[in-house]
Amino acid sequence: MESSRSCSFHKTGAKNEIALEELVHAKNTVLTAHQYKKYRTDLNESEILNFHEAQVPAAVLGEYDKKFSPSSIIALYRSEISPREANRFLAESSLNEYFITLYLLRGISSHRYKFLVRSVGGSPRSPEQHARLMRKAIGAHFTKSQKSHLQKTYNLSCLERYSIPLLEELLLNRDPAHNEERPAALVILPKSDWNGTFLEDVDIYQAISKKYKLFAYEARVRSEVFGSIRTFGLYHGKTPEGDPQKPLELLILAGHGSAFALNLGDEERLNATEENFPYALQSRYLSLLDEERFRRVAPFVTGTVLLFSCSAGEGGEKARNLATSIFTAFSCKRLIAPEEEKINVLAIDLDPFPFPLYSCGKNRTLILER
């Protein structure tokens, strides 16, 4: 299926055919829609709803250049990147707003970008070249030993997905005593990413790292997923009774997906069902067939599980989908997943519990609780 945050190398909100008034009945929300329209007449109703749910003031739209897409503005605003900095980068380069946003979210300024371009002898011309330039910029900050630690502890090889501060935090979190007062969180990302989606979520993880002791892991096969849940669920040791001393309070499973499966390491997009799933491919996915495997690692996850995967909650709580299957296997407090395909993860709120803002809106978000 499609992406976790966007469906191509351009940040655009997923279109929603349902009218704003049908989704949100509060009168003040409808009135707010007119406020947003004052600054951006090109907004559709789902984009206005996204701004409202992300708590982005309407006046902010008047500060960022209109070339920035709604989802980019949400990411920049929630990451406290000023309109002045974003607009300057836009004015000083020939890049489109999507890539400017990606560089800024990694702490790469317009000045730094120009230096990088000179160092490689020319501007990137493809998404892959941009990814390599980001990898070069981020990788240059770390020693060979530090990069080895990131690989051995977290299996990270796609450094372009992260920011320098985030990777520095991951290195510090290798010490069980560091941030020991914080609840533990684990983000599991796929090695496979056919459209570059997982370059986009760095601001989400950066926000999480301010409240949680964050771990991240890149998995190519399902055994790595379940192994990492066990490893980081036991990272702080066991109680005298043999239970995890500090189980995961937040687990994020990310990958291109469907209601049936989440892609980890398959470069091809899956078009299979529970009854027709080639055995040779199964190890590279998390699917409805893995309920028993999830049950075995249930003791290591006690809080909230988020699925950053299209259609994982399709059909809702009564349907058999990836979200309900994992929730049945786990004993976690809650699980949250999008019910629609082609979604973006625009932002995340952490209080009173982690809640992702998917571009399909809260009314199309499945929340399972016990």
Condensed to tens digits (0 to 9), the pLDDT of residues 336-351 reads 999 998 888 999 999 9
For residue 280, pLDDT over 60 is answered with yes
* Averaged pLDDT of the chain: 89
Q: How confident is the model at residue 34 (pLDDT cuts 50, 70, 90)?
A: confident
Could you tell me the residue ranges of all domains in the chain?
20-138, 142-369
Closest by CA to 338, choosing from 278, 279, 255, is: 255
What does the pLDDT read at residue 194? 81
Q: Which long-range contacts (CB under 8 A, 24 or more apart) does 168-176 make?
A: 169/209, 169/214, 170/214, 170/215, 170/216, 171/146, 173/213, 173/214, 173/215, 174/149, 176/235, 176/236, 176/237
How far is it, in rounded angstroms, from Cα 205 to Cα 74? 15
Residue 352: asked if its preceding bond is cis (omega within 30°), the reply is yes
pLDDT value of residue 281: 86
Answer whether 63's CB lies under 8 Å from 30's CB. no
Range with the poorest average pLDDT among 46-50, 276-280, 317-321, 365-369: 276-280
Tell me the average pLDDT across 130-154: 95
SS3 sequence of the chain: CCCCCCCCCCCCCCCCCCCHHHHCCCHHHHHHHHHHHHHCCCCCHHHHHHHHHCCCCHHHHHCCCCCCCHHHHHHHHHCCCCHHHHHHHHHHCCCCHHHHHHHHHCCCCHHHHHHHHHHHCCCCCCHHHHHHHHHHHHHCCCCHHHHHHHHHHHCCCCHHHCCHHHHHHHHHCCCCCCCCCCCEEEEEEECCCCCCHHHCCHHHHHHHHCCCEEEEEEECCHHHHHHHHHHHHCCCCECCCCCECCCEEEEEEECCECCCEEECCCCCCCCCECCECCHHHHHHEEEHHHHHHHHHCHHHEEEEEEEECCCCCCCCCCCCCHHHHHHHHCCCCEEEEECCCCCCEEEEECCCCCEEEECCCHHHEEEEEC
Q: Which of 126-130, 227-231, 278-282 shows the lowest mean pLDDT across its residues? A: 278-282
Amino acid at 86: A
The one-letter amino acid at 341: E
**Residue predicted with more confidence, 53 or 11:** 53
Q: Count CB neighbours of 303 within 10 A.
A: 18
Position 2 pLDDT exceeds 50: no
